[in-house]
Structure 1
Amino acid sequence: INSLHEGGRGTDRVTDMLVDSLGNCWYTGYFEREFNDQAGGGGKNFFLAIRNRTGELINAITAAGPFDEAGVALALEPPQTVYLTLYAEGNCTLLGRLFTPGGKNRNILFAKFAGTDSLCWMKEVGGREDETLYSLNAGPKGEVFLCGTFSGNMQIEDKSVVAEEEPSLFLTRFFDPCQRRELELGPDRILCRGNTLTLAAEEGFAIYDWNNGAYDRNEWTIEEPGKYFLRTVCPYGCVFHDTIIVKEGWVDATPTITDETIPPGQNGSVCITPEGNFPPWSYMWSTGDTTPCVYQLEAGIYQVTVTDSAECETSLTIEVGSSTADGMRLHADPNPFFDLTTVSYSIPSEETVELVLYDAHGTLRKILYHGKRLPGTYTLETDRENLPPGVYFIRLKAGNRILSRKIMITGTP
């Protein structure tokens, strides 16, 4: 498909090459005089380069020192993170960072690049004599394996090893201190309508950049669905990018009420028809039922919460019964009201009367009256007493008869 010529005066050699999941070609080795218009130092000089599918050079890194430096082997962590080993005999500068190997002669330097423009870290495997690397492999859990030979003694981080025979084999396992971390909430999330959602990344990164600098911490609370971006930088300098798709979840529910005019007894029923974008739905009634329909209901107020598979929910307060029940009447005026309303009610016989106010969630908010009453019509005035605006229900119970009326409070007290 394509071929190219690269190099300059002197000896140039590619020692290892691999292709990443995007089709880019990574290769490393050494040059003597010139590579990509960059002059070398004395002896061999290291290079790491990446080209795209058509052969165009994306980037190149070189390191030149007074002695030999040469790339040896590559290992890939998808999509564009590369482990690299190189030989170095003396000081060398890589991406502006000076490295001074502690051993003599030829030493193995082991590095990780996030792309060709970010050096995450570099480790040394060195000793008094030459070391030779034969294999470099990356494991699935941030483990990297190096295999080769050495003579004399060799220092691997804080461990010193002495060769019993020369040359001796070494197999070293490193754990990548800059291993990829995941979002705790995953790539796709659901934001329930009317709620907020907190996106969270694992702690331990040096930088958290949400949507181009919106926040600099590991959590971000959002209020709208959409596509969000996170750039994280670990303490070693590796840069990672995440895309989080936040979808909107919503639930609507329509009740169908039968037998709204209920004499004393249990012959009312309510069925719920749900709508939303994440079925199936579950139901929790104030009666303890978990089905879409409930039956054999007395007149009164009932609550149901409908929840979808994404844990979005909606709650309904449903009044079963009519405004008259066997000679009883219940009325509030004005309705809606801001501050005060007058409640009037009638009972046909002497009974113990309970007149109470519930909110839309079925929570008792006020006891308006409780006691014995003779047959007749009664009125009382009640104020909101700092109740928030919304839908409420007045319930009148006289003996075994129940009657309720929906009222609405407006404005902020």
Structure 2
Amino acid sequence: MSQEFGNNGPEYYDEYEIDLREYIILLWNNKLFIGAIVVLAVIAAFVISSFVLSPQYESEANIIAPNFQLLNGNVVSNEDYIAVLTGDMVMKEILDIVNQERSKDNEIKIQGLLDRLNYSMSENTDQINFKFNFNDPEKTQSILKQWINIFINRVEEFLVNENNSYYKNIENKANADYKKYQTALEKLTNFGSENNLNFLRKNLDNKESKVIKLNLNIMDLKNVLEAEKKELEYITSRLENTERYLVRKNLISDEFLQKLQAVNSQTSLINLLNTEEEFLNPEFENLINREINLSTRITSKENNLENYIEDREKLNQEISELQKKISVLSKEKIIIQDELTNSEKSYNISNEKIRSLDQALAEREFNFIVLSTPNLPEDPVSPNTKLNVAIAAVLGLMLAVFIVFFKEFMKEE
């Protein structure tokens, strides 16, 4: 298998074969240069770390912030505490403290301050660890201490405000429910004084009783009228078949006739003494009187019947209007009573809620537990002079070796 090496062939690469011994000799020959570079890097790192970079001190504190259940049922946890810790209100107060002695050009911004704060939360406990670094040990301790104090005060203030706000809402609702109850009670009282439903119902019962009596009277009167009309028809029928007048014949006796004939022999004159007399039939007269009396009674009863019917219609109309009025007023009263019942029930619920909230506030107490207050740092955490010097020495050595190799490479070219 052939191998291609380009136009110059393998001889070209032989010129650049690495001879480790030559490189070691090369580095040894330049040991003073390499040492000088390393020393310069170390000195530069030491000077910068000691005199240029400002030292940073770190203060640490630990607190326990237990979860707290508000009166409204919401639970305040570590995440909520951190939101308060880094919130605008707390940050503004801390910035005012930090920037008291600084000019506007040198003022620390919110993000710059947050970058100096480290916090961590334990998953199994309610512990929060705070670490804060600053360029002055006393200020580092003071700022972290004030930050935690402001944070605790703001959290407690937040909890109190939330509970008070919820309590106030329930209290306002209870007051509103009580006003509704008083309004409904007053409304029901005024309704009772303006509308006497019992009196209206009694009045309705009386009218209905009168209608019942009128119906009975009308029924009885109709029955009597029906009987009397039948009797009138019977009398009228008899009148039609009864003679109004009767004829009475007055005849002379035979003995008297004989005496007259003995005196006077004219028969025609004697016959004139026999007469006929027409008179009113007593039966017909009796029937007429009965007919007149019955007609009078029937007319009177019919008038009474019409009056009864008119009275009944009038009463029925009054009863209908009274029933409508009672129905409307009864519905209105039921609505008012429902309002009273509901408002009283709602007020009792709100009142009971307030009592339970009072008990909960008395039993529920929130306290941050400070496990360790911010310490006064003695040694700066940065810059780390030893680490910086070590890193500078390594980097200086690498730079010096690179320069030596680069110079050698340029000579060979």
The answer to whether the superposition gives a TM-score over 0.5 is no
TM-score in terms of structure 1 length: 0.19
Relative to its length, the structure with more strand (as a share) is 1
Higher radius of gyration, 1 or 2: 2
TM-score in terms of structure 2 length: 0.19
Relative to its length, the structure with more helix (as a share) is 2
